[in-house]
Amino acid sequence: MPFIAVSSIISGVATDSQPVMIDVAVVGGGAAGLASAIFTARRAPQAKIVVLDGATKIGAKILIAGGGRCNVTNQEVGAMDYCGGIPTFIKRVLGKFSVENTIAFFREIGVDLKVEEHGKLFPTTNRARTVLDALLMEARRCGVSIRCGQRVTSVQPCDGGFQIQTSDETLYARKVVLAAGGRAMPKTGSDGSGYELAARLGHALVPVTPALVPLCLNGEFHTPLSGIAHDVEIMVQVDGVKPVRIHGALLWTHFGVSGPVVLDASRHWHRARLDNRAVGMTMNILPGKDFSAIERLLLDLAAEKPKSSLKNVLPRLLPARVAEAILHELLIESDLVMSHLPKDVRRKLVHALSAWPLPVRDSRGYAHAEVTAGGVPLSEIQPKTMASRKCPGLFLIGEILDVDGRIGGFNFQWAWSTAYVASAGLTS
């Protein structure tokens, strides 16, 4: 056990007469920070552990996650559910603290999880508050000190440990965990300041962009469709890169598009723009069916309902208002009966249904993003311990790293897993 009990330590706060040393200072009390404090305290019950968070109320992101229900993890999590980073590193970390470990941990602290659609796990209470309260109670039980309203403005190596300056105090810690998150939804407290702290301690930064963020479209096509949701397959075509296909629910909104499939596609759009690559996005409105399958479908419908009009037949395949808008945009008469559909018109329609363009203008930015892509490169972190390769005594976990998960509980799993791995490093 490397921690030395310092009998004079009471608060861990430096005064003029008595600078005191805490064992572990965790910068950021989000999912990763709280979990790492708990796991470390469980391994080293004598250790003095302090969580410092700039927000006045802790856990804002946990509370809003998963529509207020907190999608804690997913039934199946693997390296392929993440972008950025290094797949073997991610796999190794996930292997050290798996989904089963997450379920068991939450059960231990009184949170039972249930599986929902797409393997997502939520608390049985359907309340994110249950998750946050359980984490805070466990942290307290383990003797972790949580200090809100303490924005960390600098972390500097000092006498084999660190001097930490917050908005109103100076602390000294033997080890520091940077768990300050990224830049997504800065009103929750994650304003990107963690990157600056990491940079000043010698770390590089893979340029950041919003991810899991709704997209704004050019034109007016989307406006009257606001509120309609349906399944699609989005294809993101980036110049010089293999196209990415993502299947899921799309939601039309007053500004453009949202919904899980759009959120997942957004990071690819942003990364392409960051790299100055041309990027286009289309959607197949009948996912799983290619051009010829859709054409076959229309021919079958024409044979089955020769006297029905397009406007009466298409709602069998897609929402009526979307069908109407597409016909209008293509200048195809919606009263046209199926038996009189000329080949060129049918083909124009099939092309539209299989590859409708989504003219993305921009995303809604960090203010509406669920995560940040980019961050501190994994090549600068030791996968066994989450320790920095640049600064001895420093550990980095959670979203501050260059890893972003797709929608479905993967980002929290990354937070729990990295937190657990760091606790081993912090106590070895």
Ligand X SMILES: Cc1cc2nc3c(=O)[nH]c(=O)nc-3n(C[C@H](O)[C@H](O)[C@H](O)COP(=O)(O)OP(=O)(O)OC[C@H]3O[C@@H](n4cnc5c(N)ncnc54)[C@H](O)[C@@H]3O)c2cc1C
Which residues contact ligand X by CB under 6 A?
27-33, 52-55, 61, 64-66, 70-71, 151-152, 179-181, 184-185, 189-190, 193-194, 370-371, 398-399, 409-412, 415
Token pair, residue 367, equals 């203010």
* Residue (30 or 256) nearer to ligand X, CB: 30
* Residue (51 or 235) nearer to ligand X, CB: 51
Judged by phi (left if over 0) then psi (alpha if -120 to 50, else beta), residue 359 lies in: beta
* Residue (123 or 325) nearer to ligand X, CB: 123
- Smallest distance from the beta carbon of 73 to ligand X, in angstroms? 7
d(CA 338, CA 340): 5
d(CA 54, CA 165): 12
- Smallest distance from the beta carbon of 65 to ligand X, in angstroms? 3
* Residue (51 or 353) nearer to ligand X, CB: 51
- Smallest distance from the beta carbon of 332 to ligand X, in angstroms? 39
- Smallest distance from the beta carbon of 91 to ligand X, in angstroms? 18
- Smallest distance from the beta carbon of 213 to ligand X, in angstroms? 10
- Smallest distance from the beta carbon of 402 to ligand X, in angstroms? 12
CB 161 within 8 A of CB 173: yes
* Residue (200 or 277) nearer to ligand X, CB: 200
Token pair, residue 51, equals 């969580």
CB 234 within 8 A of CB 281: yes
- Smallest distance from the beta carbon of 428 to ligand X, in angstroms? 22
* Residue (54 or 85) nearer to ligand X, CB: 54
CB 261 within 8 A of CB 246: yes
* Residue (109 or 297) nearer to ligand X, CB: 109
* Residue (246 or 313) nearer to ligand X, CB: 246
Closest listed residue to residue 120, CA positions, set 82, 65, 190: 65
Q: Which residue has the tokens 């469709």?
A: 225
d(CA 135, CA 144): 11
For the CA atoms of 367, 368, 374, 380, what is the dihedral angle to 10 degrees? 70
- Smallest distance from the beta carbon of 187 to ligand X, in angstroms? 10
- Smallest distance from the beta carbon of 3 to ligand X, in angstroms? 23
* Residue (171 or 180) nearer to ligand X, CB: 180
